[in-house]
Amino acid sequence: MKPQKNISCRCGRVSLQLAGQPIISTECLCNSCREAGEYLQSRPGAQPLLDDKGATHMVLYRKDRVQCTKGADSLREYRLSPDSKTRRVIAACCDTPMFLDFTPGHWLSLYGRRWPETALPPVQLRTMVRDRPEGTSLPDDIRNAETHSLAFFAKLVCAWAAMGFRTPQVDFVNGAFDTH
């Protein structure tokens, strides 16, 4: 396994340790990532989360390779709806989005904005481009998949098989994010 990496929130109170290599580095253009991104980056003092295409850069890691080493008491979840299986996890200390957790899944989608630019894994695939904002053109530097591609799912399944088909739970998130 490769050396460990650390990413932290803007103020440094929360730190996540990542082991090994990511599953894949993507830009997601789905409606829910854009809706959540627009809300989260609109909060007072928040940093941008979406790029000029309306995409969210996500770096996917196996759940068993992500640990919170500092500040778990500040991590809160934000869901677009109460019954959503997807939660965005924010460091409440400084309103910093840290990762997206598809709770039944075996991976976490860590926000690319948490990496120093020199350490950020390059984007390998754009996904859900059918949901991109009207009139948005996309560069052809990487594959622009209309939905989640077979290659995307193959990487997820290979990572899951390497985990022995386990689905660890992320138990270091402490309550709901205050949206007021």
Domain-located, residue 175 = no
Q: Which has the closest alpha carbon to 102: 169, 153, 30?
A: 169
Domain-located, residue 178 = no
Domain-located, residue 171 = no
59 three-state secondary structure: strand
Count of domains observed in the chain: 1
Mark 19-53 as b/e (b = at least 16 C-beta within 10 Å): ebebbbbbbbbbebbbebbeebeeeeebeebbeeb
pLDDT at residue 127, as a whole number: 96
Of all residues in the chain, the percent with pLDDT exceeding 70 is 98
Q: Under a CB-based contact definition with an 8 Å cutoff, are residues 100 and 66 in contact?
A: no
- The pLDDT confidence band at residue 162, using thresholds 50, 70 and 90, is very high
Over residues 63-90, the mean pLDDT reads 96
**pLDDT over 90 (residue 163):** yes
Digit-coded pLDDT (tens) for 86-133: 999 999 999 999 999 999 999 999 999 999 888 999 999 999 999 999
User: Is the pLDDT higher at 2 or at 48?
Assistant: 48
Entry pTM: 0.94
Q: Under a CB-based contact definition with an 8 Å cutoff, are residues 118 and 99 in contact?
A: no
Range of the domain at 132: 5-162
CA–CA distance, 50 with 46 (Å, rounded to integer): 12
Strand 86-91 and strand 75-78: the pairing is antiparallel
- The pLDDT confidence band at residue 50, using thresholds 50, 70 and 90, is very high
CA–CA distance, 98 with 69 (Å, rounded to integer): 13
Domain-located, residue 179 = no
Domain-located, residue 155 = yes
CA–CA distance, 113 with 111 (Å, rounded to integer): 5
Residue 147 maps to which CATH number? 3.90.1590.10
Q: Under a CB-based contact definition with an 8 Å cutoff, are residues 129 and 148 in contact?
A: no
Domain-located, residue 52 = yes
Question: Which backbone phi and psi does 31 adopt, to 5 degrees?
Answer: -60, -40
pLDDT at residue 15, as a whole number: 97
- Tokens encoding 38: 């627009």
**pLDDT over 90 (residue 56):** yes
Amino acid present at 24:
I
Domain-located, residue 156 = yes
pLDDT at residue 177, as a whole number: 87
- Tokens encoding 89: 């996890």
Domain-located, residue 177 = no
- Tokens encoding 51: 């790029």
